[in-house]
Amino acid sequence: MNMMQRLSRVDAINWNRLQDDKDLEVWNRLTSNFWLPEKVPLSNDIQSWNTLTEKEKQLTIRVFTGLTLLDTIQSSVGAPVLMEDARTPHEEAVYTNIAFMESVHARSYSSIFSTLCTTRDVDDAFRWSEENPTLQAKSQLILERYRSDDPLMRKVASVFLESFLFYSGFYLPMYWSSHAKLTNTADLIRLIIRDEAVHGYYIGYKFQQAMAEASPERQQEVKDYAYELLLELYDNEVRYTESLYDEVGLSEDVKKFLHYNANKALMNLGFEPLFPSSVTDVDPTIMAALSPNADENHDFFSGSGSSYVIGKAVATEDDDWAF
């Protein structure tokens, strides 16, 4: 729908008449996951923050400033652009939620800054973000697709932002958390990570629906463009990662995290993963910080772990189970 059509007529949205029940499923998921930074006791990290070296503090502020930029792009450009391409009014409504939550994410980093950092250090980092070539390059690569007239590539760019580009940044709070540092900040970042997974999944799902209707030639073209864009973003991410993490000796592990998440971004689009498992073996302590016991069941089939993994006590929905 173009802007003129949009302005000339809007129909009232009826959530009781769905064209695609995935819209309601995701709407419910996103709204039940709603949160605000105020619910996380960030001030409990002040002591921990003070144990970081000046270099580590600068790295952390820069990483969070970079993430703020991505959230800002997604909130003010990405989600609104996707709204224009929505297939159903409910999809459009889901994007309004995504746009707002990206604003919440961007706002959260400022909450972290105001709790832990000095104004001058934060101002310096924002200046750094405006001048850093690799950060600006990734922003440009995404914005170019958002400005293009190709709805499929707009979704591809959006999924890459949600499911790939954030992770060079997300690595650091997971690293601090695995060293028992900035653990409340890490809790907040985990809420963001959870949201981004739903966003990437949903936009990827809508992408796959649109792809299924395209001609085989067009499908191939989009697929080629998508891998091309991923590799372009990847090259830039590697440079960005090195410029930030070389100093603390973490670049190589961050790159594994990039590979792991690039694969998941491709999968959200329905494409096969690109990076083999030999380069996606992220440090297990990082994976544990992301998802505790992420590999606990891995051993059932290989026979090397504890024999039976019967679920831990979790509150189940007994009302729904008849036994």
Partner 1 sequence: MLASCSPTPIAGTLVYFSTKSGNTHRFVEKLGLAAQRLPLNRDAPAVQVTQPFILITPTYGGGSAQGAVPKQVIHFLNDTHNRHLLRGVIAAGNTNFGEAYGLAGRIIAKKCQVPLLYRFELFGTDEDVANVRKGVEEFWKRLT
Contacts with partner 1, residue ranges (CB under 8 A): 20-22, 25, 29, 32-33, 190, 193-194, 196-198, 201, 205, 208, 263-264, 267-268, 273, 277, 287, 290-294, 297-298, 300-302, 307-317, 320-323
Please state the closest distance from residue 277 (CB atom) to partner 1, in A: 5
Residues marked active site are found at 109
| Contact between 251 and 241 (Cβ < 8 Å) | yes
| Contact between 151 and 222 (Cβ < 8 Å) | no
Residue type, 293: N
Please state the closest distance from residue 210 (CB atom) to partner 1, in A: 14
Q: What's the N-to-C CA distance of the chain in angstroms?
A: 49
Confirm whether residue 102 is marked as ligand binding.
Answer: yes
| Contact between 159 and 269 (Cβ < 8 Å) | yes
Confirm whether residue 162 is marked as ligand binding.
Answer: yes
Please state the closest distance from residue 309 (CB atom) to partner 1, in A: 5
Residues 6+ apart with CB under 8 A from 42: 111, 112, 115, 116, 184, 185, 188
Please state the closest distance from residue 164 (CB atom) to partner 1, in A: 12
Confirm whether residue 105 is marked as ligand binding.
Answer: yes
| Contact between 13 and 90 (Cβ < 8 Å) | yes
Instruction: Please identify, using beta-carbon distances, which residue of 146 and 260 lies nearer to partner 1.
Output: 260
DSSP 301: H
Residues 6+ apart with CB under 8 A from 235: none
| Contact between 275 and 259 (Cβ < 8 Å) | yes
- The DSSP result for 155-195, as a single string, is HHHHHHIIIIITHHHHHHHHHHHHTT-SHHHHHHHHHHHHH
E-only strand ranges, the chain: none
Confirm whether residue 296 is marked as ligand binding.
Answer: no
Please state the closest distance from residue 289 (CB atom) to partner 1, in A: 9
Which token pair is 206?
């809508």
Determine if residue 148 is left, alpha or beta; phi over 0 gives left, psi from -120 to 50 gives alpha, anything else beta: beta
Rounded CA gap, 135 and 290, in Å? 24
Binding residue ranges for Fe cation: 71, 102, 105, 162, 196, 199
Q: Residues comprising the binding site?
A: 71, 102, 105, 162, 196, 199
